[in-house]
């Protein structure tokens, strides 16, 4: 996943391209349920693996059409 800084850079480029070519952009924010509970119960290493596994699934889905970025602890922007 990209981070918030990468999102800021890519977002500006995506908007510029959309304006130039007259295309549309779709943005979604995903909030991973129960992440804090898993992180607190099983530790940060497990929490990181939890996010990594979810991120890999999201990346496979959106890679052909866009990007995915970790916006916060358990928020992912696509």
Catalytic residues: 74
Pick from 76, 75, 68: nearest CA to 11: 68
- Tell me which residue of 47, 49, 73, 58 sits closest to 1, measured CA to CA: 58
């Amino acid at each position: 996943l990209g981070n918030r800084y990468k999102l800021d850079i890519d977002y500006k480029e995506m908007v510029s391209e959309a304006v130039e070519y007259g295309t549309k952009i779709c943005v979604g924010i995903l909030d991973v349920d129960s992440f804090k509970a898993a992180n607190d119960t099983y530790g940060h290493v497990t929490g990181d693996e939890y996010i990594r596994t979810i991120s890999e699934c999201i990346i496979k889905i959106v890679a052909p059409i866009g990007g995915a970025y970790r916006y916060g602890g358990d928020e992912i922007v696509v």
